[in-house]
C-alpha cells in the first residue's frame, strides 16, 4: 500500500484512500500537505505585511486589512502550519521509532487530522467576508467588540482545530507509553520520541485552557455574555491569563519535538551516540515542566504588580538552564565525531546559533523591568521569530530532508536542498535581526505604518528585503519537492547510515510497518545491530498474523459536521434561521458518532502466508 501501488490506482481511488485512511504514514502526508498549504498562505500574508512596511507612511493595504493580515499570519503560522508540521513529523517517525505497527488509536488519529483540517478551512473562509483582526492573541475587549464575523471565525475555527490537536496529543501519549517494542525502555527511546512524549503531555494540559478561553469568548461574542466585558462586571485580564496558560506551553509544544529531531539528526550525521543522553531527557522534561510556570511573562505590563512579575521573571530565566544544557550537549555530540554536511545537517547546524540568539533575547525579555521597554515592540517580534523560524521552521526543513525517504521513498535533491537553505537563512537574519533594534528605537509591534522622520526607514527596508530572500528559499524548496517526486533517486532502507528503528525497514515502509516486531537491545537499536550483529533487527516474535484496522470515512464526517455547526453558529447572530444549519451540523456529528458506536469494526488480519509470500522484502 505504498505510494508505488497508490500510483497505479485511479485518482478517485487514491483520494478515497486518503479520505478514509487510518495509516499513520498517510496521515503524516495529509498533515504535511495541508500544513504546507497553510504555511504558504501564512507566508503570503507575511510578505504583504512586509511590503506594507517597506517604506514609511505606506498605503499598500488599508489599516483594517493590515490588522486582518497580522492576525491571520500569526494564527495560521502557529495553529495551521507549525502544529500540523509537528504532527506530520510525529506521525511518520514516532510509531516507527518505537517499533509499533501504528499509533494506539488509528481512528482517533484520523479524526484528529480532519478536525484540525476543517477548523483551519473554517478559519480561512473568513477571508471572503472579513478576517479576524484583533491579533492572534485576541485580547478582549478588542476581540469581543470587533465588528463583523472575523473574530467568530477565529473562535470557532480554533475551537474545532484545537479539539483535533488535543485528540492527537492524547493519542501519541498512549502510543508512546503502551506500544513500544520489547526492549524499548524509556531510557532507550530516541530523543525525538522522548520529546514527542513530553509535547503530548503539554498538549494534554495546555489545550484545555485554550478551549475554556475560547468557550468564554464564544459566549461573549455569540450569545451576549460578559465574561471579558468590564462594563458588565467581567474582566478581560482573565482572557490574557487563559490564553497564555495555553500560549506559552504552545511554544514548547512546537519546539520540543524539533529539539528531539535535531538530537537524532546531529547524532546520525556525526556518527556518534548522543552526548549526555540522560541529561538531554532530563532537560526536555524540565523545560516541559517549567513551560507551565512562566505564562505571565507575556503580561509584565498588564499590571500584575512587582511580586508576580518578579516570580515569573525568575521562573522564565530558569528555562535558560535546561535549554543551555541541550545546546552544549549538541555541540559535544559533534565534538570528536565525523560531521557529514547534508541538507538536513545544514539546517540543523544553522539552527544552533539562530535559536541561541532567540534564547538570549528570551532571557533579556525575562528581566521584568526591562520588558517594560521591550514588550509589544519589534524586539519581541524579532525574538519569537528567532525562536519559531530559527527553531521550528529550520527544524521542519531539516526533518523533511531527513525523513523524506521514509515518507515517500525518495531522497530530496541534496544540491537543491542546500541551494534553498542559503537564501532562506540569509533572508531570515536580514529580516529579523534588525527588528531587535527597530523595537528599541521605538517601533511597537502590529503597526500599520511608521512615520518618516522617526528613524525607522532603513531598518524596515532591510527587513522587507530579507523577507523576499526567505520567499526565494521557500520556492526553491518547493521546486525541489516537485523535481524529486518526478525523477528523484529511489531511497534505500537506510540512506543516512542512521541509528534508530525507522531505518531498519524499507523506505517507504509496508503499511504494516514491521513484519515482525523487533527486539531492542540498546539505545540507537539499529546502530547496535550494525556494530554488534548482522545489521538487521532481531525479531521479538515469530512470524504471525497481523491485526490491522479498517479504513473509515467516519472521522471525515464527524469533522464535517463540526464545520457545518461552526458555520451555523457564527451566522445565527444575524439570522436565527442559521441555527437550523448549526443543528444540522450537530446531527451529522452525533449521527456519525452513533454509527461508530453501534457498528462493529473489528479490523482485519494479514495472514502469515501472505507475509511469507512477500519474502524478506520488508527487511
Using CB under 8 A as the binding rule, the residues of this chain from 24 to 63 that contact other proteins are: 62-63
Give one DSSP letter per residue of 57-95, joined into a string. Answer: T--SS-HHHHHHHHHHHHHIIIIIIIHHHHHHHHHHHHH
Interhelix angle 237-270/277-290, rounded to 10 degrees, is 170
Instruction: Figure out which of the listed residues 451, 536, 605, 614 binds other proteins, where binding follows CB under 8 A.
Output: 451
Q: How near is the Cβ of 276 to other proteins at its closest, in Å?
A: 4
434 belongs to the binding site for other proteins (CB under 8 A): yes
Give, as ranges, the residues between 334 and 373 that touch other proteins (CB under 8 A).
334-341, 349, 352-353, 356-357, 360, 363-364, 366-373
465 belongs to the binding site for other proteins (CB under 8 A): no
How long, in residues, is the chain?
Answer: 619
Query: Which C-beta is closer to other proteins: that of 168 or that of 291?
Result: 291
Return the range that interacts with other proteins (CB under 8 A); candidates 141-149, 244-252, 389-397, 534-542: 141-149
Grid cell in block for residue 271: 556518527
Of 531, 539, 527, which is closest to residue 619 (Cα–Cα)?
Answer: 539
Instruction: Decide: 402 and 332 in contact? Cβ < 8 Å.
Output: no
Return the range that interacts with other proteins (CB under 8 A); candidates 140-148, 171-179, 535-543, 587-595: 140-148
Instruction: Indicate the burial class of 367 (C-beta count within 10 angstroms; 0-12, 13-18, 19 or more).
Output: middle
Give, as ranges, the residues between 251 and 310 that touch other proteins (CB under 8 A).
270-273, 275-279, 301-303, 305-306, 309-310
SS3 580: helix
Instruction: Figure out which of the listed residues 18, 292, 332, 553 binds other proteins, where binding follows CB under 8 A.
Output: 332
Q: Which helix (H) or strand (E) holds 564?
A: helix 554-571
Q: Which DSSP state fits 389?
A: I
Instruction: Figure out which of the listed residues 15, 331, 483, 543 binds other proteins, where binding follows CB under 8 A.
Output: 331
Query: Which C-beta is closer to other proteins: that of 115 or that of 265?
Result: 265
Q: How near is the Cβ of 451 to other proteins at its closest, in Å?
A: 6
Query: Which C-beta is closer to other proteins: that of 442 or that of 603?
Result: 442
Cβ atoms < 10 Å from Cβ of 167: 21
Distances (CA, A) of 594 to 108, 218, 240: 15, 27, 37
* Binding string, residues 96-135; x marks residues near other proteins by CB under 8 A: -------------------------------------xxx
Give, as ranges, the residues between 565 and 604 that touch other proteins (CB under 8 A).
none
Query: Which C-beta is closer to other proteins: that of 171 or that of 348?
Result: 348
Query: Which C-beta is closer to other proteins: that of 282 or that of 604?
Result: 282
Distances (CA, A) of 96 to 6, 22, 500, 514: 21, 15, 9, 8
Distances (CA, A) of 249 to 72, 198, 210, 294: 21, 11, 11, 9
* Binding string, residues 374-403; x marks residues near other proteins by CB under 8 A: -xxx--------------------------
Query: Which C-beta is closer to other proteins: that of 441 or that of 587?
Result: 441
448 belongs to the binding site for other proteins (CB under 8 A): yes
Query: Which C-beta is closer to other proteins: that of 438 or that of 564?
Result: 438
Q: Among all chains, which residue has been given the C-alpha cell 504555511?
A: 39
Q: Among all chains, which residue has been given the C-alpha cell 493590515?
A: 66
Q: How near is the Cβ of 349 to other proteins at its closest, in Å?
A: 7
Amino acid at each position: 500500500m505504498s505510494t508505488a501501488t497508490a500510483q497505479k490506482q485511479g485518482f478517485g481511488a487514491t483520494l478515497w484512500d486518503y479520505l478514509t485512511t487510518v495509516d499513520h504514514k498517510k496521515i503524516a502526508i495529509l498533515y504535511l500537505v495541508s500544513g504546507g498549504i497553510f504555511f504558504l498562505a501564512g507566508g503570503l500574508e507575511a510578505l504583504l505585511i512586509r511590503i506594507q512596511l517597506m517604506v514609511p507612511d505606506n498605503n499598500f493595504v488599508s489599516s483594517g486589512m493590515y490588522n486582518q493580515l497580522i492576525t491571520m499570519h500569526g494564527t495560521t503560522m502557529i495553529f495551521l502550519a507549525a502544529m500540523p508540521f509537528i504532527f506530520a513529523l510525529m506521525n511518520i517517525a514516532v510509531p516507527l521509532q518505537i517499533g509499533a505497527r501504528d499509533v494506539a488509536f488509528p481512528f482517533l488519529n484520523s479524526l484528529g487530522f480532519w478536525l484540525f483540517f476543517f477548523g483551519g478551512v473554517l478559519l480561512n473562509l473568513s477571508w471572503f467576508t472579513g478576517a479576524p483582526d484583533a491579533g492572534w492573541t485576541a485580547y478582549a475587549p478588542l476581540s469581543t467588540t470587533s465588528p463583523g464575523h472575523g473574530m467568530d471565525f477565529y473562535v470557532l475555527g480554533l475551537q474545532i482545530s484545537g479539539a483535533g490537536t488535543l485528540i492527537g496529543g492524547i493519542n501519541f501519549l498512549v502510543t508512546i507509553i503502551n506500544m513500544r517494542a520489547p526492549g524499548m525502555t524509556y531510557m532507550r527511546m530516541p530523543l525525538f520520541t522522548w520529546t514527542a512524549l513530553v509535547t503530548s503531555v503539554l498538549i494534554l494540559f495546555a489545550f484545555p485552557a485554550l478551549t475554556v478561553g475560547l468557550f468564554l469568548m464564544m459566549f461573549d461574542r455569540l450569545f451576549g455574555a460578559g465574561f471579558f466585558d468590564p462594563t458588565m462586571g467581567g474582566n478581560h485580564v482573565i482572557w490574557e491569563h487563559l490564553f497564555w496558560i495555553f500560549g506559552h506551553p504552545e511554544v514548547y509544544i512546537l519546539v520540543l519535538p524539533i529539539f528531539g529531531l535535531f538530537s537524532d539528526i546531529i547524532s546520525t550525521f556525526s556518527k556518534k551516540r548522543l552526548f549526555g543522553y540522560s541529561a538531554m531527557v532530563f532537560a526536555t522534561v524540565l523545560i516541559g515542566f517549567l513551560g507551565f510556570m512562566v505564562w505571565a511573562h507575556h503580561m509584565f505590563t498588564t499590571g500584575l504588580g512587582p511580586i508576580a512579575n518578579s516570580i515569573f521573571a525568575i521562573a522564565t530565566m530558569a528555562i535558560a538552564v535546561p535549554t543551555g544544557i541541550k545546546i552544549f550537549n549538541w555541540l559535544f555530540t559533534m565534538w570528536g565525531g565525523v560531521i557529514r554536511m547534508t541538507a538536513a545537517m545544514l539546517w540543523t547546524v544553522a539552527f544552533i546559533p539562530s535559536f541561541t540568539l532567540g534564547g538570549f533575547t528570551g532571557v533579556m525579555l525575562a528581566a521584568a523591568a526591562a520588558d517594560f521597554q521591550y514588550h509589544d515592540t519589534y524586539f519581541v517580534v524579532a525574538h519569537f521569530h528567532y525562536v519559531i523560524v530559527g527553531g521550528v521552521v529550520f527544524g521542519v526543513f531539516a526533518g523533511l530532508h531527513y525523513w523524506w525517504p521514509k515518507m515517500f521513498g525518495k531522497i530530496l535533491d541534496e544540491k537543491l536542498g542546500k541551494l534553498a537553505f542559503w537564501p532562506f537563512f540569509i533572508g531570515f537574519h536580514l529580516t529579523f535581526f534588525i527588528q531587535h533594534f527597530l523595537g528599541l528605537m521605538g517601533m511597537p509591534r502590529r503597526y500599520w505604518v511608521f512615520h518618516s522622520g522617526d528613524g525607522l526607514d532603513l531598518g524596515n527596508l532591510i527587513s522587507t528585503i530579507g523577507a523576499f530572500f526567505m520567499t526565494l528559499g521557500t520556492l526553491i524548496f518547493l521546486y525541489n519537492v516537485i523535481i524529486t517526486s518526478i525523477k528523484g533517486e529511489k531511497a534505500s532502507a537506510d540512506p543516512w547510515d542512521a541509528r534508530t528503528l525507522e531505518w531498519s525497514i524499507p523506505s517507504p515502509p509496508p503499511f504494516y510497518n514491521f513484519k515482525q516486531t523487533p527486539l531492542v537491545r540498546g539505545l540507537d537499536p539499529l546502530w547496535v545491530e550494525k556494530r554488534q550483529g548482522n545489521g538487521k533487527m532481531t525479531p521479538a516474535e515469530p512470524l504471525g498474523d497481523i491485526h490491522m484496522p479498517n479504513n473509515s470515512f467516519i472521522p471525515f464526517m464527524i469533522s464535517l459536521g463540526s464545520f457545518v455547526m461552526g458555520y451555523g453558529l457564527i451566522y445565527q447572530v444575524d439570522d436565527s434561521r442559521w441555527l437550523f444549519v448549526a443543528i444540522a451540523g450537530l446531527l451529522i456529528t452525533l449521527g456519525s458518532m452513533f454509527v461508530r458506536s453501534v457498528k462493529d469494526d473489528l479490523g482485519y488480519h494479514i495472514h502469515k502466508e501472505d507475509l511469507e509470500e512477500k519474502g524478506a522484502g520488508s527487511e
